Every structure is written in C-alpha cells, then in structure tokens.
Structure 1
C-alpha cells in the first residue's frame, strides 16, 4: 500500500522543457540511421535522465519525482493578454518531432510524465510544490528558470542543473534584490521581453527592487505612486498601472491547479530494464543502451552503428584562444597581409558600434588564415574612465592603429581576386567596409553554406553552427557588453577582451568554411549555393545601400487621416455596442459580442474570456453583423498606422534621406527573401489604404519609379512541373487562366462567364499550390464545406496531373527527407514522416516547396544578372517584393530600363531550365510606387 505523502518525504520536480532545449542546443544534430528521424535532443535528454538516476543517492535523494512539460496549446495567460509570448519564435523544425519522444523516454525511465493543456509547466510545478509543502514534505525544483524562484522558501528549494548549485532565498535575493515572496512584484514592474510581459516602460529589475523594498508591495506602490520624487518614474507608474497589474497576473504562478492526480502517484520507482532497453534500442542509442544493460546485469541488445556526428573534425586541433594576436602597429599588420596573400584564403569579421550597417562605425577587424592563426585589429576602442577630448568626444585607447592607415594596408588584399574572403553573414561586413571605400571580392559565406545544406532544419547563426559542427561554444557577446540598461557598446570593451572574442569569431568562421565547403558537393547543393546564394550578397548590398526615398509628409497626413478614421469607427462601434468600451481589449469585446449582443459562435477559454480573433470576427461579419465588421476595419487601420505611417519616417537615414531595408538571404526555407528594419514586403497592395502607403515611396527629382512583376509565376511553374497540357496551352495562348480553369471545371463558356465562377476557380488555382483543404476553401469563399470539397474533387478530376505531382512529391520527400527545386535548391521537409496534426502541414509544405522555391530561384537569377544588364543605364534596383522588382531611373531612360529588365526577368530560368510555359512580366512606371505597380 502506498504511503501518503507527508513529513519526511521529498519531491523532485524536473523542468522537462528546459531539459529538452538544453539537450537540443548543447549537442550537434543527430538522426536515426534507419529512417533519418532527428533524435539529438532525445539522446541528450535520455543521458540527462540517466545521470539524474545515477546521482540520486544521498541526503537529497527523492522519495517522489515527476518530469513536467509545457503543453503545446495556448494557456490562460493568452486570454489575459493576447500578446503574451508573441515574440517567441517557433521551435526549430527538427526539434518538433522530438517532443513526443521525450515524453515517451520519461515513461521508459519509469518516471511520472506530466503536462496539462492550457497550463504551463511552471504552473503545474507550482501547484505540486505547494501541495507537497502544505503536506509537510520537502520540494526540490530542478531548474534554473527565474520564474520559479517565487516559490523558493518554506521547504521549497531549487537546484540549478547546469551549475549543480542549490538556489535558496539568498540566491533569489541576489538575482532580484528582494525576498522570494516579492519576486512577483518585481517581475510585474520590470516585465519580460522574452515572454512579452509588458511591465512598466523604462523600469528594470534593479529599480523595481528598490521601489518594492521602499513601499513594501506592488499595490502599495501603485496606490502611493504620486509620492515618488522622480517625475518620469512617477508618471510611468501612474500611466501604466493597469498594464502593471496585468503583468503581475501573467508572472504569478497558479499554485491551486485542479490536478487529476495526487502526490502519491509520483512515488520514485526504479526503471523497468526491459522497457527502458526496448526504447533505447529503438532510438538506436548504442552507448547508453550498453551502459543501462551493464547497470542492470542484462545482455545489451544489438544496436546498429550510429552515424558519425557532423561535429567531428578530427584533423584540426582544438581552438586555443591564448594563441590569438592583437595587431597594434603597421609592422604586425604588414606581416599579416603578406601571410594572407600567401595563403589565398582569409576569414574576416568586423566589430562595430551597432547592427545598422548604414549607420554603424567600425571599431575593429578580426582576421584568420587557419586553425590557431587569428588576430584582431583594434581601431576605435575608447579608454575607460578617461575624460573627453577638447571637443567632448571620447579618448581612444592606446595601442591602436589609425583607421585610415589600417584600411590602406588591407585594401589591396581585400580587393585581390586571388584571395578568397570568408565571412559569417558577410553581407554585413561587406557593407561596412564598402562605406569606407573597400570592396571585398571574391567572397564566401558560411551562413549561406549552412542555409544551402540545412534550410528549415536549424538556424544558421555562428554560435549555433560552432556548437553543431565544431563542438565549440563561442564567447557570448553579453559577457563583453552586458545586457539591459547596463549594456555598453563594443567600443567600450577593453581591447584585450575584445581581441579574444573577435579573433575567435574569425577562426570559427574559417573552421566552419573548412567543414561546410566540402559538404556542399557531397550533398549536391554546390551548384545552388554558387548560383543562387553567394552572388546575392553583392546584389543585395547594393540595393540596401541605395535605399528608397519616402515622402514623410504624405505619411504624416495619412497618420492623421487614419487617426480620424479610427475615431469615426470607434464612434460607430460604440454606437452599435450601446456604450463605450476598450476596442483593443479582446476580453471587453468578447463580452459585448457574446454576452450583451448574444451573437452565436462565442468560444470561451479556461479563464472564461471569449476568443475575438480575426477568424472569429470574419465569421460573424459574414453573417451580416456590423459590429465585428467595423472592429475588423478598426484593427486594419490601426495596424497600418502603427506599422507603416507612424513608423516609416523613423527609419529615414539622416545622412542619405532614404529608407534602407535589410534583406535576409537565409530566411525562408524556400529561398524567398525577407525584408526587415523596416519590412517593405508586407505592405498591402489590394486595399486603398495599402496603395496610398505605396504612394509615399517616391522617385527623386528627374527620376521615375519602375515596377516589373512576374505574372502568375507559381501557376506557370506548376503547369511545367506537373506537366498539365490544358494549363500549358492556356499560358502559351495568353488566355485568362482562371476563366479557362472555370470553363474546364464547370463546363461553362469563357465568354460572358459569371465573375463569381471565375473567382472560385481563381481561389482553387492559387489554393492548390498550398495544398488547400475543403475547409480552407470554404472559409475563403464563404461557402459550405461540402460544396468547397466538391470543387476541389472536380478540380483534380479535370487536372489529374496535379494529383499525380502531389503524390509523387510527397513520396520523394518521405523517402529523401527533402525536395528540390528545378534549379537544385534543397528544401528539407522535417516532420514529413510523422503522424498526427503536424503531418498535414508538412505534406502541404512539401508540395508547395518546389513551386514557391523555383519562383524564388527565378527572381534571384534575374536579380543576379540585373546589375550587368542595366550597368550603362541611369538606373538602380531598389526593392524586391516576392515576384516584383522596383527600380529608380531617370525619366529619359524609362523605356530602355523596362526593355532591359523585362528581357532579363523573362529569360531568367534559362539556360539551366527551359520551361514549357513562357514567363511574362508586367511593367509600370510613375512618380511613386503606387503609380508604377
């Protein structure tokens, strides 16, 4: 009979989600030999559990234990604050299929495995900890998560599994400046950028702790905020009191969850050797299987050899930072330049004052010519604690070369065609040096090599690549510059520390190049890298440096008009609602729609709040309800105002008077470019407001904006890859493809066709590329699901080649783990062999990837050829927006530019691929982007 949990018992709660992510990031990628399933995180997780079991004896030995996981669903906190954790990126694609396997692993180790829909692991651990504490037992939470520190005390302690150190009240006070029972108040004030907890703007942990210590608790502080002497801080607390209270609800853990099990069910149990060995063998964990078998005196099952980890680079010595040099004078730099010229390969990295390549100043340059050969050239570090010069500027630290002289010595070798320059995201360094008159060529980029090899499986930042491929952990940048309000610029970092950090970056880049370069050929992506990735660096650098003019006054007028429109909509909404309420509050809106107005379709979350997502409002509006329709209008105008008309003027570079976006080459899995800071690719084009925003992008004096856009490029590629005779003929004949599809499907004449029938065919034409379902088409067309499914069935009957293409592509993806575009781009398809809801998404992505990827490849090929094609014209390529290229050209050369650019774009697939259908490019020109499109 199980003994009731109480005094003398000790509960261990293991933060399973933290274990998973630590295992994932600590180990290089690993796949199961038999089927290619990613298992690196599972392997690390199992090793951590095995170590935990082996180390479990002694005074800290548990009597009860559970591993607690986060559930994949949204939690009650999203009902309180919809933006909660909105900034969190999606888990890596290769980690997602490993989540269920870690649960299975926990059960194989005979440990209680717990997760609850609608609640985070922290809430479950909080509830169990409080139950155990109230029953008189001890609790140890095995985690370093700061959010759990509010539980410490009165029999509850934490154990940092990384440092293997206990976390008690003293450690909590050291971190938060207050005792554990006031941690919630401090977190509510300081907020949390990681979880998107708003807090009070401008108040960090240190200030929050001081305020709580002074006033005792959060409510007292907010009630007496008027007593605070600092005006800005006082007003911040007064203005944001409601937001701070919401933040407290977000950070406070739920200690009273209604769990469907008791503490007695968490009794510590020894693993069942047979069950554990069966799981480890199935996962093909050879070493751990042998260890477990030896521990239990069992015969180890036979496990096939594991693949060699990608991190193995046995021929190179380990990184030794003590060998790095700091180049402080001409003689040393001249010697390095000679070595670079002799070796013919140089890894280079720049250190700057910021992330904006158009505004950042150069602080130093690091160089590496091979393993153990790396150096840093400090150029603009400032002396710590020194008074400014006569003009109030900082004083440069001693032992640095003049910037101009260093660049003069480096310029010949950096521009030497016989010396290959390697960088990690080298576009950044390319632009920094180009602004200083140094134009690097030729170049190689380890980030883009990783992208060509592993798009969609993991990120391509240097720190992650170093751990994955070199088994090396780089010095974290925050160790040098700090974080938060105390963060300093790189120029303030002492030269000796900066040298070690920067030189390591250069050597790691060289080693990554040494590791990844041969892999391009082995994986048959070298051609794609050489033709589609590497040449984009210089092309995009030129576009980004040129930038585009905007009419800030036009945007300000639009902002004012949007504000008036929003006010008008607010009046309409309040009139329809029968009273004023906060339109931006989902909770209040839900109460108006479903409680006061009694509309059907309200769905309440665990907190009782109704969902008011765009999907819900669109359904209500489609039923003829005015209030949700007006709210949708209000939200759309609000987003345009905050994202574009208010924000774009802030991005104008004071030196150039232009907006300079930045394109990510290694962003989307399919090869599509991503535009950031600001994002100029998502401006609506089908709405009047979106077109008016495009009016703000203007040509300079005597210039015109020209836009060239591929016409239905993805449908044309589908016609080619699926070999659909009817579609191919229609494209050759130049007829209306959507009308032709409608005619084929519904047996109606093209002439005089009902526009609604054409619209339905258009929705299917574009939807099928993305693997649209009957449910999705029904929502798009606002028709019954059965009718929508009937349309899709008819579509495949008329065009059986599309179904054959889909089945063929999915089969290839399942077999190979990836698909390829017409031009050799490899697009990985993680999750394609899994079961459950995610499988459908993986299947649709695999079907779409060769089509969207080929379209992305074609416009890349056009962009790469464009600079040479328009070299003699007074024109510049400014923007790429998916299938569209935007130029600025002198008025007298508009026609010449259109002719030249159209020729390049329409022939971009050749000679690599001769498509069965013609590529057609539409062109327009005007004083602004809206007129040109």
Structure 2
C-alpha cells in the first residue's frame, strides 16, 4: 500500500445502464434476466484490472442510487419527473448487480433519499480532509463540480496537506482534471454549477433558463464571474432576447442552482476505512459467476488472466451454462493454448541482418501477421512509419522506418535520430515476402494496410483479415456499437482476455499528444508488435470457427475476395468539379436563407429553424398543429416522420422545414465537405468503405459518405453532376434493376413475380394489376410503395402513413397482397420462426445476421428486430451479389484487355467506373455480364438479374 491513500469512487448507476444497453438479453440458469449483470461484471472486472496495472487505489467503493427520488423532489417535485421507469427486464437485475459488486469484495454504498452523486461528493470531501487523494470513476458532468478541489481547511488532526479530486472516464480512458473541465465548460470546476443552472438539464428536468444553451451559459459566467452576477447584470444589458430571458428566468435559474448543487455533508453510511483494498478473494466471485452461468468469466478467473491474485484452482464451467455465455460473447470455441502476451519479448528490428532473419522465419512459417504504423488515419495521405510482423505468440517484431527521435517526446533540433533501416531498402527486402503467394499474410482491417503498402510499391497477397472473419461469424451478435464490435482492441478483450496498449497511452492526448513517429522506439515496439501478435492470435482463434459455425462459405466466396477490390477503389478515387460544388454551395445557401424567411413568416416570429425544441414549440404550442408528442427530454419530437405527417395534413410550414433540412444537410455533407475532401496529391476524392459497417453485409462509406446522396431528386442529380471523369474519359454507372424485388420473388417462390421478371414486365404494373385490377399512375405508385414496404415488414400504421390512408384500408391492402402473393407471407413467417429459434437470419450465400433482441419482452425492441430480420436475408443477399461482382470485375476486365477501366465507387446497388470513351461498348458488355452472373455458380436464381448501364462525362449524366 502506498504511503498516500487514494480512494476511487465508482459511479455504479452509470455502469448499470451502460451495461444494459451494451449487451443483448441474457438469462441465467434460473431464467432470470442477467444481460446487464454480465455487462456490469465485465466492466467492473476491467476497471479492477486496469487500476491494478496502473497506480491504483488503496480504497475503492461503488456508489449506487437507492431509488428514483431524493430530497430534491421536495424542493422541486418535477425534478427527474420525465425519466422513464427502468425497463421491465432490468428491474430484477438490480439486486444481482449489488451481489456482483460484493462478489468482488468491494463496498457497495446506497442511501435512501440521497442520490449517488451526493454520496460521492460527501465521501470525496471527507477523504480529502483526511489527506487522501480521490478519483471519481464517472463521466457525469454534475460531478465535475468537485474536480480539482484540494482540502485546505477543516483537515483532520495530524493531516498536513489535504487531498485532491480528479475523475476517470473509463469510456474514453481519459483522466479529467481542472484543465479538461475548463476546456469543456469554459470555466473552472467551482463555476460549473453556475453554468449548469443557466443551461438546465432536460434529462433531469432541471429547468434552467429557456433559450440559453451551453455556449451562452459559459460566456455569461466567464464575463460576469458567477450566476448571481450575471443575473444582477441583466437589467443593464442592451435590449435583446438574452436580456429578456435572464430577467424572466431568474427564479428558474436560482432554483436550478440549488438542484445542481451537490450535498457534500451527508452522513456516511460506512466509514472510509472499510473501503480498503486487500486483493479479491476468488471463492465468492467464483460462486457468483457459476450461479449466473458466466462461464467465460469463470474460465478467465480459473486461468488467472485479466485480474490480480487469481488462483488457478477453480472448477470448470458447467456445460449447460455455456450456451448463454456464448450467445452474449460470440465465442463458442475454446481458446487455443497460448502463453500470455509478453511485450518484453518483442524485438525492435534496426539492422538489415535482423530483418532478413525475421523474413526467413516468416517464409518458413508460411503464415505471418502484418501491421503498419502510419502518421495519419487517412491511408491516402499518411506516411509509413513502421511495419510489424508476428509468426507466433510473443514472436513479434517492429521495424521502424520513419521515426524521428530515439528517445521519444518530440522532433526538435535536439532530437537524436534512432538507428533504423532506410525505408526503401527495408521495403525492398519485405516485398518478396509480402507478395509471395506461398505465404499467407494475416491483417486486421487489411484494406487500410493494403493501401498504405500499395502506395509504397508493395502489393500484399494472399491475405486473411481477422476483422472481416469476426464480422462473418458474429455480425450483430455483440451489439457493441461503432464497427460492430470487430475492432482489434474489442476482439482482444472478448476472445483473448487481453487489454491492448492504446494509441493514447503511447502518443498521449490533447496538446501533449505526439505523432507515432516521435514515440520512443521501446514503447513503439511494444505497441506495434503487440498489434501483430494479437492479430496472429485472433486468427488462430477465429479462423477455425468459420468451419465449425458455417462461416467459411460467406467469408471465402464473398467477403475475402472483395477486400482487395475495395482497396483498389479507394486508391483510385473519383474526380470532383470544385467550381461546380462551390456554385452549388452558394445556391443552397441562398435558398436556405430564403426558406428561413418564409418559415419565419409562417411562424409569425424569428426562431432557430435548426433547433428541434424551438421548432416544436412553434409548431404545436404557438401554431396549434395536432399530433405533437413530447419525448423523455420534455420537448416535442420534430423528426422527419412528424413533419411529413404535418405536411400531409396541409401544414405549409412543415413542407418548408423539410426542404430547409434537406438543403442544409446536403450543403454541409456534400457540396461543402467534398471540396475539403479533395486530396492535394491526386486531385480526387477518396472515400473509405467499411466492410463491417452494416450488419447485413452492405458496404458503408465515410470521409466522405457517398451512400446518402438523394437518388431521384433534382438536387441529388446536381450533386452527382459534380462527380466527373478526367479529360478523354467518361463515367459508366451500372445499376442492378430492382434486385431486392427479384430476390424476394426467388426466395419466397412467388410465381407471378418470377414470371413478370422472366418476361421483362414492369413489376409495379404487374403488382398493380394483381392488387387493384387496373394499372394507372395512382395504382402503380401504390403498388411500388407496397412492393418495397412489405419486404421491410411494415405495419398497417406504417403503410397507412406512407400511402395517406386509414390503417384499416392499409391492412386490407396488406391482406390482398398476401392473398395475391402467398409466398411472401409464407417467407415472412418462416423467416421469423427461424430467427426466433436460432437467433440469426441467413442470406442465400450463408451470411448470418444475429438478432439478439428478437425475443425481447420490450415490444419496441422485438418489433424492430422482426422488421430487420424479414429484410436482412434479401438485403444481405443483394449485398453479397454486388460484392461478388466487384471481386470478379478487375480480372474480367483484364482478361478482356480493358486495363484502363477503373472501378471507382459502389453505392447501394450501383457500380461506377471511369474509362476511355473508346472502350465503352466493350466494357459495358463485360461489366453487364459480370454483374448479371455474379450469383452463379454458388447460387442459381429463378429470376434474371437485370443491369441498367449508362455513360456520361459526369455521374449525373451517366444516369
């Protein structure tokens, strides 16, 4: 135990809800919901492990809310009034979460009538008076009022200097001190309460002053020094909306200041000394894990990994509990025996002799994990800083190529350049290994490294990608947010029980952050070689699962062949017409300004059109439109569906707002952003495609996102006109025609639809004839809406909203549709039955998409999963087919002598190419044949795949 005591106070309530939303529903052997318990346990375990490895606490307690009311409700009955009741399946988990805390032999504190924040404040202040330092584990802005407080008065006898308080945000792995608070609020922690009182808090229903947001609140406190001073200054301010609001809202602000003030003098339910840490006895924790069926955590405890002082004498997990844990973790195969990761075993390769040694090892192994370190996340602008290799567990090295300082910390004139192999010589030595078709290269997010190395003259092949393998196995299963839970760090924790070094730990954060090329070589080697080591281990764990769990087909026939094709598309990029974009931005700005004026005129006053709260108040309180509904925040919903409903009811202002929103979004997302995205070196825009961004397998694009340009509107066409070909070339757009309807006809075995496609009929005309007995503009339009809506599992109310009819009439249409096309209804019922039973859907190529909440007791979660499950096999098969076309395209073009044809973009069901105008006829034939035959021979379809092809100097003209 260190000489100075350090208390950690964990905001347990925040952990609970994070855990609940992080994982799918899970039950223990007794049938009790335990999804949140499992997530909470893993988070607490990770915290204990992280703190043990760092300069950890001497004392620790978890602080919880006893119930939803406190003394603040006596002051202001509406306090937290809008917070919903906890979900039904979360309530029985609260006692188990307390049991989980005590299973770790940690103090668990809660008190009737007090919020967790007040207990944390009181314990923190008591500890600092004893001379202890305090870290609050939370990201709660209210608790930031305590940061930096160092006790100077009322110190306990014998204490020479008081302790200080900081925070730890485990979500961001960030320490929060006074500097970070000032950066966030513009004021020090002692004035955070004043800012909060002005801006209010819709979640807790703290009123604040209407119309004053965080920026205005911060500036007022900065300018005047306190809330009281700002309010007192209001009468002397110039006439303005702000002055009126300060004068009218003074009472609300003063009330809010009382509500946000933390109570720092609560009676302490347990003395601080009871929080002393003295290891974690394994027996209570083992008993708890076994009772809840958390077999993988029990295995970690048994192996001694992931936390301190864990003996290896626990009983193995019971077989009957394995299924529940597997569904939560997506880890149904035993982890291969491997030694724990030892970063001290890694080698920094600084001579050609040692590099040749590693290359020989990789050649002999026939399998090597590879990773690159770069100066930037953008693979099209970054410099290559180093390469790491791994040939086995703890058999990894880092080859620095672009480091500037052997000791780290900067690149100024006093920096000592490290010994490293000259980049060109190292790459020349690595090239035969990385391009050798007898050696498999394993990468994580291979597309990035392929582009980095290709720009340096090395074309890596053959490859496997652990990120894409994970996606093929577990898409949708983990529900862990961005990236679908397939990032290396996430997979290392989930499957290997290992926490990787983070980039921030190596390079720092904020103003003190340094580029990777300035990191000391010993630290850089630990970080970079660990990535290769972890990739190698993940491959050994995940690749065998493909065969066992039926993922080989989708990975080998669809996903893996696509990786190199997509990397090539990203490198090629597409040219955009900057003057045309600037012209459009100007036109959009003029039009949005005009629309704002018209909206203000219809509203009878000026307001911020982009503010949902102000817009809601105008629409429903002032103008009295019907259909307003308030959400949890207490403000009206003004999302697109609400505005569309108002528009259908004749509200002209809703039309104008919808138009305004579309223009401002298109301006910021495309016409402005695309100009900034032009690469200085190539003069082109290089979007980045994610192979794991959508759980159905569809590609998604970012930086910039090209997937959401409106398809059939004039504005969308104008934006596409700005995507152009180089001089002497044209763009060719090849688009699958109604591919999802064709796949539905095949998968649901719908005879009339299959006949219509086989005969080249207009499918919407055929549907209109079948449903309404006549074909005209109105019935065809309705048939088109119904055709697509049914495939998304639309409800009677949803269809009624789209068609502008009553729900009963919409239900009659759905019934008629199913009667005319019974295969569709059969497909829907069978699909849902399979997903409920197995937990996942499958495409025709075997891609699994998991739906953990398909059997949820929450009707919104369940119905949302059902709608997605109905469409996933169709949309996923469509995505699989276009990926197969992309993978086959370059070889087919090369075989036809069309080496100058470049595939540039994939957007939904469309591929865009750039090519010499003289090659259009021959290329159109090859491209059409590849796309039309992409499903075969793996899948034989009962309907033909139609492909529409157009060309022009711009993408818009090619349509």
Cα-to-partner distance string for 1:838-884 (whole Å, 9 max, x where unaligned): 11111121111111111011111111110011122121111001100
- The residue aligned with 1:445 is 465
- The residue aligned with 1:4 is none
Q: Say which of 155, 174, 177 aligns to 1:175.
A: 177
Distance 2:68 2:343 in 1: 39
- The residue aligned with 2:893 is 870
Is the 8 Å Cα contact of residues 126 and 254 (structure 1) preserved in structure 2? no
The change in CA–CA distance for 1:559 and 1:469 in structure 2 (over 3 A counts) is: same
* Residue 42 of structure 1 pairs with residue 37 of structure 2: yes
Distance 1:212 1:288 in 2: 49
- The residue aligned with 1:841 is 864
The change in CA–CA distance for 1:825 and 1:517 in structure 2 (over 3 A counts) is: same
- The residue aligned with 2:678 is 652
- The residue aligned with 1:163 is none
1:207-218 residue pairs with structure 2 within 5 A? 216-217=225-226
For residue 534 of structure 1, give the secondary structure of its aligned residue in structure 2. Answer: helix
- The residue aligned with 2:92 is 104
- The residue aligned with 1:160 is none
Is the 8 Å Cα contact of residues 149 and 164 (structure 2) preserved in structure 1? no
- The residue aligned with 2:141 is 147
* Residue 661 of structure 1 pairs with residue 683 of structure 2: no
For residue 444 of structure 1, give the secondary structure of its aligned residue in structure 2. Answer: strand
* Residue 348 of structure 1 pairs with residue 350 of structure 2: no
The Cα shift of 1:796 comes to: 1.0
The Cα shift of 1:587 comes to: 3.0
Distance 1:587 1:690 in 2: 29
Is the 8 Å Cα contact of residues 200 and 256 (structure 2) preserved in structure 1? no
For residue 550 of structure 2, give the secondary structure of its aligned residue in structure 1. Answer: coil
Distance 2:901 2:148 in 1: 72
For residue 456 of structure 1, give the secondary structure of its aligned residue in structure 2. Answer: coil
Is the 8 Å Cα contact of residues 457 and 830 (structure 1) preserved in structure 2? yes
* Residue 777 of structure 1 pairs with residue 814 of structure 2: no
- The residue aligned with 2:521 is 495
Cα-to-partner distance string for 1:392-416 (whole Å, 9 max, x where unaligned): 9996722111111111111111111
* Residue 545 of structure 1 pairs with residue 536 of structure 2: no
- The residue aligned with 1:403 is 423
Q: Say which of 404, 429, 433 aligns to 1:413.
A: 433
The Cα shift of 1:537 comes to: 1.3
Distance 2:340 2:194 in 1: 46
Is the 8 Å Cα contact of residues 709 and 923 (structure 1) preserved in structure 2? yes
Distance 2:910 2:385 in 1: 37
Is the 8 Å Cα contact of residues 14 and 142 (structure 1) preserved in structure 2? yes
- The residue aligned with 1:685 is 711
The Cα shift of 1:306 comes to: 2.5
Q: Say which of 545, 561, 564 aligns to 2:590.
A: 564
The Cα shift of 1:331 comes to: 0.9
For residue 927 of structure 2, give the secondary structure of its aligned residue in structure 1. Answer: helix
Q: Say which of 902, 926, 933 aligns to 2:952.
A: 926
The change in CA–CA distance for 1:602 and 1:23 in structure 2 (over 3 A counts) is: closer
The change in CA–CA distance for 1:38 and 1:922 in structure 2 (over 3 A counts) is: farther
For residue 364 of structure 1, give the secondary structure of its aligned residue in structure 2. Answer: strand
Cα-to-partner distance string for 1:507-535 (whole Å, 9 max, x where unaligned): 01000011111111111111211111111
The change in CA–CA distance for 1:678 and 1:857 in structure 2 (over 3 A counts) is: same
For residue 865 of structure 1, give the secondary structure of its aligned residue in structure 2. Answer: helix
Is the 8 Å Cα contact of residues 383 and 394 (structure 1) preserved in structure 2? no
The Cα shift of 1:793 comes to: 1.3
* Residue 535 of structure 1 pairs with residue 561 of structure 2: yes
Distance 1:22 1:646 in 2: 38
The Cα shift of 1:198 comes to: 9.2
Deviates more, 1:721-730 or 1:31-40: 31-40
* Residue 830 of structure 1 pairs with residue 852 of structure 2: yes
Cα-to-partner distance string for 1:615-645 (whole Å, 9 max, x where unaligned): 2222222122212211211111111111111
- The residue aligned with 2:505 is 479
The change in CA–CA distance for 1:67 and 1:48 in structure 2 (over 3 A counts) is: farther
Is the 8 Å Cα contact of residues 703 and 889 (structure 1) preserved in structure 2? yes
The Cα shift of 1:383 comes to: 2.2
- The residue aligned with 1:734 is 760
- The residue aligned with 1:793 is 815
The change in CA–CA distance for 1:347 and 1:31 in structure 2 (over 3 A counts) is: farther
For residue 709 of structure 1, give the secondary structure of its aligned residue in structure 2. Answer: strand
Distance 1:814 1:663 in 2: 31
Distance 1:702 1:479 in 2: 50
The change in CA–CA distance for 1:584 and 1:369 in structure 2 (over 3 A counts) is: same
Cα RMSD after superposing both structures = 4.8
The Cα shift of 1:818 comes to: 1.4
| TM superposition score normalised by structure 2 | 0.75
Deviates more, 1:343-352 or 1:172-181: 172-181
Deviates more, 1:681-690 or 1:582-591: 582-591
Is the 8 Å Cα contact of residues 133 and 154 (structure 1) preserved in structure 2? no
The change in CA–CA distance for 1:537 and 1:606 in structure 2 (over 3 A counts) is: closer
The change in CA–CA distance for 1:498 and 1:808 in structure 2 (over 3 A counts) is: same
The change in CA–CA distance for 1:375 and 1:99 in structure 2 (over 3 A counts) is: farther
1:322-341 residue pairs with structure 2 within 5 A? 322-341=344-363
Distance 2:766 2:294 in 1: 56
Is the 8 Å Cα contact of residues 451 and 666 (structure 1) preserved in structure 2? yes
Distance 2:63 2:604 in 1: 56
The change in CA–CA distance for 1:219 and 1:902 in structure 2 (over 3 A counts) is: farther
* Residue 583 of structure 1 pairs with residue 609 of structure 2: yes
- The residue aligned with 2:131 is none
Distance 2:955 2:649 in 1: 36
Distance 1:358 1:133 in 2: 49
- The residue aligned with 1:745 is 771
* Residue 15 of structure 1 pairs with residue 12 of structure 2: yes
- The residue aligned with 1:506 is 532
The Cα shift of 1:612 comes to: 2.5
Cα-to-partner distance string for 1:430-483 (whole Å, 9 max, x where unaligned): 110100100111111110110010011231000010011111111111111122
For residue 177 of structure 2, give the secondary structure of its aligned residue in structure 1. Answer: helix
- The residue aligned with 2:321 is 306
Is the 8 Å Cα contact of residues 145 and 191 (structure 2) preserved in structure 1? no
Is the 8 Å Cα contact of residues 348 and 397 (structure 2) preserved in structure 1? yes
Is the 8 Å Cα contact of residues 42 and 101 (structure 1) preserved in structure 2? no
Is the 8 Å Cα contact of residues 63 and 119 (structure 2) preserved in structure 1? no
Cα-to-partner distance string for 1:907-933 (whole Å, 9 max, x where unaligned): 111111111111110111111001112
Q: Say which of 848, 855, 870 aligns to 2:878.
A: 855
The Cα shift of 1:790 comes to: 1.3
Deviates more, 1:211-220 or 1:555-564: 211-220
| TM superposition score normalised by structure 1 | 0.77
For residue 605 of structure 2, give the secondary structure of its aligned residue in structure 1. Answer: coil
Is the 8 Å Cα contact of residues 555 and 693 (structure 1) preserved in structure 2? yes
The Cα shift of 1:364 comes to: 0.8
The change in CA–CA distance for 1:371 and 1:591 in structure 2 (over 3 A counts) is: closer
The change in CA–CA distance for 1:870 and 1:638 in structure 2 (over 3 A counts) is: same
Cα-to-partner distance string for 1:93-112 (whole Å, 9 max, x where unaligned): xxxxx976553122457899
Distance 1:439 1:221 in 2: 63
Distance 1:35 1:915 in 2: 46
1:123-134 residue pairs with structure 2 within 5 A? none
The Cα shift of 1:603 comes to: 3.1
* Residue 455 of structure 1 pairs with residue 475 of structure 2: yes
The Cα shift of 1:825 comes to: 1.3
The Cα shift of 1:170 comes to: 3.6
The Cα shift of 1:40 comes to: 6.3
Distance 1:494 1:187 in 2: 42
The Cα shift of 1:284 comes to: 3.6
- The residue aligned with 2:4 is none
1:893-912 residue pairs with structure 2 within 5 A? 893-912=919-938
* Residue 631 of structure 1 pairs with residue 654 of structure 2: no
